[in-house]
Amino acid sequence: MIRFINVSLMRGTKPLLESVDLTLNPGDKIGLIGANGAGKSSLFGMLRGELHADQGEIDFPAKWRMAYVAQETPPLERAALDYAIDGDVNLRKLEAELARLEGEDATTENGIAIGEIYSALADADAYTVQSRGEQLLLGLGFSLDQMQQPIASFSGGWRMRLNLAQALMCPSDLLLLDEPTNHLDLDAIIWLEDWLKKYPGTLIIISHDRDFLDEICNVIVHIDERKLKRYSGNYSGFERQRAAQMILAAGTLEKQMRQRAHLESFVNRFKAQASKARQAQSRMKALAKMEELAPLRAAAEFSFEFREPLSAPNPLLVMEDVNAGYPILDAHGDKIGAKTIVSNIKFSLQIGQRIGLLGVNGAGKSTLIKTIAGEIAPLTGDATTGKGLSIGYFAQHQVEMLRHDESPLWHLAKIAPTVREQELRNFLGGFNFPGTMVTSSIAPFSGGEKARLALALIVWQRPNLLLLDEPTNHLDLETREALTMALAQFEGTLVVVSHDRHLLRATTDQFIIVADGRLQPFDGDLDDYKDWLFQTKLGKGTSVLPAAGKDNKTDFPVQSAVAAPASPSAPAVNTKEQKRVEAEQRQKMAALRKPIEGKIKRLEEQIAKRNGQKAEVDAKLGEPGVYDAANKAKLKQLLADQTFFTKDLAQLEAEWLELQEQLESL
């Protein structure tokens, strides 16, 4: 159990959390959400012990093992697979100790110590670690050949995948994941979802991917107005509960405003009359005591729209027998060959088509998008464009192409040199670049702000063909929703590659898949694609997903490219007397622990029952029509039940924590 007790946190002069109380149960899968800069990563820093609260404390069992994703990856010559396995720190320590002992002279004590190490290695599943590491990396998109390549040969995004693999390899009771999907393709995200669903420990995820949160989380913690608010259910449940709370809060605020106006009116009318002075005085006291209710604030809405295209050729593009790929150059830059990624493309784009491009990592989706955009020329075949074609292309590296020493206004003026500055300022203001921000250098901007600027530059150009390659990277939930709404209303033609399934469902009406070096229609939806993905990987012998057992063990037989070494038999190290003494100690300890463990078990049953009752009430509060006037009595009872279950849970959890501390002290 994790408890935040009266926690406050400042970063510089900015308060992030103020007098926060929160309880998270063991085994919860928690989505941590909130606006950029609200303090999500700082909260992770406190859990990791890297930041300390200015007030209060965060309490969780000292014996818990914690895993999280490192933010830096040094350019080592170490193989990717070995680096992933390094995540199991305890295993690596045991291996190092075994190597040290085996290098020493053989003695009885040395033999006993070696036997103990072999026993500990068996407990740590050292003999399946190679296959477990390979499965993790296969799931995250690495090939068997790539696993043997040095870390230094990978790009930044692939190194972050290796850091994620390290965190998943680490046996843990608490797993912290900060935007784990940012550097993953859709196939890797689907694999990761399946893995995390089976993870038995407590999981806290920061993510802006609503489908990802919906699939995994059973609790949402929202950081808002420097408070932590817990909601039962997934992200969609949070949205329903939040909307209901806003309706209730608006009604309560309106009622209080009427009461306040009535009291103020009485005081103003009668405070000068002697006969009414005492009554006026009492109403003034009532006004002073009346607690000022703040309206429950919704997140500031951000929206934009694509302007109507200036022209609409039909077809926009025709590709005949095109091979897409990259030329192979020698040391002098001369072409000596070509590497084909997608072959024999027969493809046309008609006005108004809305296409989602699917395919596993490395299949050639980005290569195809670049070929359509004209970023790379076809290796063979013909690509014919319609007269008046205007392409808006958002690539994964689009943000890196911005001039970081220049302002948003400079970037827009560069593509619209004849337009009045005030018009440009107004346009950028619509993309949340207000005031001095519009003329400031973009160097200190967040990744989301830079991505928003790149989108603004595309919108200004009024394209009739939008090519979007992972446009949601770095965007928060609010901006993703705004982009989704804008794309849904876009009047031109759309081709999009995205790992955001909510965006794909809302903005596309057909899917095309890149697989086995070919482009072909996909007759199905994203659920069908998920099934196809698992079946395809199974057919290749790589779809068996590592189940996250107690120590991240797999539940099924696996095949490894590297055979596990046979375990030598450990020498017997316990004499008969030692075994007798140890047995007596275990019996004494069991006698002390048994009554406490019995109480803990009964409390956990009560907590589970109360959580179920509260979840049922929360679900009913999220049902349509429950807030109608006709259901006022039912709503009142549900809110009363919710309050009772919340208070009772808090008391039960406090008792559970106290007993756990007693158990740990033994």
Q: At what angle do helices 408-415 and 447-460 cross, to 10 degrees?
A: 20
Question: Secondary structure of 325-388 in the HEC alphabet?
Answer: EEEEECCCCCEEEEEEEEEEEEEEECCCCEEEEECCCCCCHHHHHHHHHCCCCCCEEEEEECCC
What is the torsional sign of CA 53, 56, 61, 62? positive
Check the CA dihedral 137-140-143-149 and report its sign: negative
Divide the 666 residues of the chain into consecutive groups of 10 and give the mean pLDDT of each group: 88 84 91 84 88 88 87 81 86 82 76 80 81 88 88 84 89 90 86 91 91 91 89 87 70 61 62 54 56 47 79 87 86 80 90 89 87 90 88 82 89 91 90 87 84 89 91 83 86 90 88 89 86 66 35 35 36 50 64 74 79 83 75 80 82 74 70
Nearest alpha carbon to residue 324 among 298, 344, 309: 344
| pLDDT reported for residue 273 | 56
Residue with tokens 């965006």: 503
- The amino acid at 203: L
Give the pLDDT score at 118: 81
pLDDT for res 53: 87
pTM for this entry: 0.66
- The closest of 238, 166, 223, 242 to 43, measured between CA atoms, is 223
H helices of 24-88, in order, are 40-47, 80-85
Dihedral angle of Cα 333, 339, 344, 346, to the nearest 10 degrees:
-60
186-198 and 526-539 helices cross at what angle (nearest 10)?
A: 80
Spell out the residues 6+ positions from residue 144 whose beta carbon is closer than 8 angstroms to its own.
134, 138, 561
Report the pLDDT value the prediction gives residue 157, as an integer from 0 to 100.
Answer: 79
pLDDT at 329: 79
Query: So what's the pLDDT on residue 409?
Result: 93
- Long-range contacts from 331-336, C-beta under 8 angstroms, 24+ separation: none
Separation CA 213–CA 219 (nearest Å): 9
> Can you give the pLDDT at residue 568?
38
pLDDT tens, 482-508? 888 888 888 889 999 998 988 898 888
Tell me what pLDDT residue 202 has: 92
Q: What's the confidence (pLDDT) of residue 636?
A: 79
- pLDDT tens figures, 501-530: 888 988 888 899 998 889 988 888 888 888
pLDDT on residue 579: 52
**pLDDT value of position 552:** 41
Structure-block tokens of residue 77: 């010559």
Q: DSSP letter for 515, please.
A: E
